[in-house]
A and B are shown apart, each in its own frame.
Chain A
Amino acid sequence: MSQASQALLSVRGLEMSFGGVRAVRDVDLDLEAGELLCVIGPNGAGKTTLLNLLTGDLKPLAGTITFSGRSMVGRPLHEYARLGIVRKFQIPNVFKEMTVRENLEVARLGVSDGRSGEGSVEEILELIGLKDQAEGVRAEELAHGQKQWLEIGMALMCRPKLLLLDEPAAGMSGQETQKLAEMLLGWRRFSVIVIEHDMKFVRTLGSRTVVMHQGQIICDGDFPTVEQDPLVCDIYLGRQ
């Protein structure tokens, strides 16, 4: 338990049900600062539910979620980003009528109190490759992949301590996926939890991986180990 007080994120006994179906069952999880974690598992394993519980979109039936020493359960939604938990949505959810730059600015305004410099918008634009589209293009006019990048950009603008990515590689080209993997591996300033289906992507990341099945965590270790685990192979037999 002494580890729990050091961990950035600490989850104990998390429970969630939908109409009698236990979507998340007695989940325990610890995450250090700067750690990259992948969560994989078949459809319906409870990955997205777990994510929703961590972002506050769902309230757990039981269990605790402690972040930076603070209990997170029951907090209003807008406090999550301010405390450093930021989410990137699976289906790009950007401000459609606003320009790319405006989207990023709104993201910055959510958490900053004016101290971050103007430059950060430029840096992010450069990073996500949307520098040319910053001014005149409305977010709804972007291609799907570009919207994903904008989402990532917006998440970064929030200066997260914990970034939660829900299937970030979906809809991206091979090249873009590569770029995303490099970015994720390069970020050490903050923790990242990635939920993914794309096994190739997860293999590229080769980081600590957690496998969920029917609401429970059945395996937790670095990717090569997890990949060899007989139970995991059982579940994935026939899939991927």
Chain B
Amino acid sequence: METALPAALNALTLISILMLVGLGMAIIFGMMGVINLAHGEFMTLGAFTLSCIQTLGGSYWLGLALAPLVGLAFGFLIEGLVIRHLYTRPFETILATWGVSLIIQKLLEIIFGSDMQPVFNPFEGAVSILGVACPAYRLFLVAFTGLVIALCLLAFRRSRFGLDLRAVIQDRDMAAAMGINIRRTNSLAFAIGAGLAALSGVLVAPLVTVYAWMGVTFLSKAFFVVIVGGTGTIAGVAAGSALIGFLETFFNYTIHSSLAQALVLILAVVIFRFRPQGLVRR
């Protein structure tokens, strides 16, 4: 119990982060078939936003509120400049977004330097659960993420935009024939994906080292989440996040941490081999 509870909390934390990043990627990847290698950078931008604000004296909560907006803005920008022109060329999208990713990383480095950016945890200290000390921040993170996911689900199911999105995922041509503005839906979806990634960046910032190329590690994790979990459904992202998050936490405790990553990769590849459509069918 001494280690089990914190370990479980760690797993939940990772799963939560993966869900947010993965959700953004699932929308972009699952819906538009766009492979956005710059997705990690949206996360980085979120974390940097927090750092900037806190350095300027602002509160964590201001950062939390602003970061998704920053993500949204960059999402719109990149979609309009780059992605929009490459919808029928998924492969070229990889190359182009990788280029964008490098550019963003380096620009951040030029502006802010390559050192770690300072970020302050709003909830220092621990809460006692069942006699075990659990970091308060992680509890907050898990709870907050749950709230966000619930809101997303609600929006997905109930809103007009959610309906449009689902229609486009199902059948693009049909959706266009029914009068749905594909261009605008795409643009908005991409931006929302970016916003979610930025949000995950803010949330994870107090827990990791924030520097210009922190996004890259989460990028590959997010892809595995989406590939393993299956694209197109929130349940799929949840399944993928749960699996990847759990596995990585488990391996982190038992073996060397980067071997953990390698093992997760291998397992993801093996799963993919035997179940290419993902764990949760569309």
Decide if A and B touch, CB cutoff 8 A: no
List the interface of chain B (C-beta within 8 A of A). none
List the interface of chain A (C-beta within 8 A of B). none
